[in-house]
């Protein structure tokens, strides 16, 4: 399958220890851009601007992600609690 703008796909979620405001709930997303770089296809999604995904790996994980997320739509899921938003954390 080739990625196309407008195609619905599953994407994983992301949770950050010291950047909770950037947390993202995975699920169904809409491709907004397709880039090809040195035979690697990267896609962007409408639900998470500024983030790109490797198409090859997303495609491999579609069945697993579908089982995990079902009908859930991918969306930002920020956690604004201070303990999860520490830009000066010493392990950066």
Structural domain spans, the chain: 8-83
Tell how far CA 15 is from the center of its chain.
Answer: 11
- Give me the tens of pLDDT residue by residue for the chain, a chain 92 residues long: 899 999 999 999 999 888 889 999 999 999 999 999 899 999 999 999 999 999 999 999 999 999 999 999 999 999 999 888 887 766 54
pTM: 0.88
Count how many Cα atoms sit within 13 Å of the Cα of residue 61 in the half-sphere of its side chain: 17
């Amino acid at each position: 399958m080739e990625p196309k703008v407008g195609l619905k796909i599953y994407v994983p979620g992301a949770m950050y220890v010291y950047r909770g405001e950037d947390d993202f709930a995975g699920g169904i997303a809409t491709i907004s851009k397709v880039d090809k770089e040195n035979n690697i296809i990267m896609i962007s999604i409408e639900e998470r601007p500024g983030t790109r995904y490797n198409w090859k790996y997303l495609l491999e994980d579609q069945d697993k992600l579908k089982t995990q997320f079902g009908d859930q739509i991918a969306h930002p899921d920020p956690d604004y609690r201070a303990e999860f938003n520490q830009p000066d954390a010493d392990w950066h």
